[in-house]
Structure 1
């Protein structure tokens, strides 16, 4: 007799469910003709057949037989899934095949299954859906599914795809009237749009985000601060920026994107606290990809300064915060009141 409640080996060998589970674990993934497929050894087929003969409800055994079948593979796998809709191995194989066949409705059905039985796995497989967005039929199917508020909706919006699907993903997000999303997902999409220089889309999307204020004539995106390393910055709870620079180091601390209507502006910032010996400055750079690259560098101690934006000049600007501590013997630290654009009334 086995001790400690363990199952005796002879009992395990006769248990169809246990044999089926062990057989499924013996499958290996290999690359074949540029695709990843599961290889089923002959011994695994034999054991799966044996397990199925002992326990016809052993879905893992049916899954192995289905994967091994050349002619009726999908039909057998679907039969296994009917017996056990929680079988993740079967769902994963069917999802891969649906993606290869660009069968979006089937993919949605399987993603819905994953989202219910293993929410963590949903984040990893949701990208298969986004990869089909450039197909008009798939786009329409996914849009309709999202309108029904599926259980995987939040995971879908968190998984922002790169180009070439980014544009379709953005359009889909803008068309949704009341998506179930999160601040994390909104920030991820904003960053992706900025990284691809899709600045008008980024500003248009920001207007759809709740609690994002827009000053008169000025629309600004969140600061992108450098964290870690010898030159770093953090946003404090009071919305000031804490800068940290090691002795003998220098570089960019962070940047913020601004969309300015034509007019005159004053840009201001101030250093509220400082320790060590260092310098802080702002670079004002035109960010519009189709505009001539204009730039201006201003030391923080020389602020405020005026900026003129004409009807035909650059409307989108990067404000880049730089710092250095070349001559400091101790780390340079400073608390900076955020640089702001203020329209100058005429």
Structure 2
């Protein structure tokens, strides 16, 4: 199997697995217990917290959660006024914002998937936007959005799930949602970074183990998250160069019959969303079943719905449904990427020469 679905999840880094194993095999103490074993587990959690925080702005704290969905829900449900977001956000933002019943403004994007920052209405309490879009890789002007938010006294929530460790997070943000399994860490853990001075009402009630968030932490998951974050820092330049090389190879190999969806420049190049006229994506997946790729967000796969991200760009239903997403990164080799692309191109040409 050739794995080209990095936006859905990334392969677990061997170093992250190694960091987790002691806490899975022997370090079974509750990190919130006062005895020595508990304190040792707690120390591992705090080391991981520092490792995750190292790639975030200063002047805030990292609170571990079960994942980015919990982090986003906590941030969005924790405000009491109007919410502003964009038309291409993840369902964890859009659905949660709608569920609050509070005034909601959804900003449109242009044909490249970019939002134009604009003045916010009085009464806006939160502006929420992705740093890097999960379907098309567009990099949003988060700093400019934060500036508009702060002028009306609103907080800026950055969904940095796809961009953390890859794209710098502006200092002007107030809340940042993260997910370990999108940076070669384990599934089941994420984080919410909260700027100093901000207090959110609890989403989960109980033991208040994280100072606003209740639930027993897993030292193993925390350690894996921390190790993955550390690798994102130490491998940043090598990862960037590798991804740029893969992007160039992929665009050249696909050729003029394929059109890139979204911006080609204001974009994280480990995300390649392309379309081909008349392509039957379901058939392509069946014909190329030894390649893991996506027709859109993994969270919406199987729903039969047209991608709201692609339609927000102005694509019609047929264009959106003839699109695929290829995601690659640190552990993708040039050889396997080219092999997969040749298979995809050949299979697509059989459908429609």
Give the TM-score, by structure 1 length.
Answer: 0.22
Q: Determine which structure has the larger strand proportion and give its number.
A: 1
Greater C-alpha Rg: 1
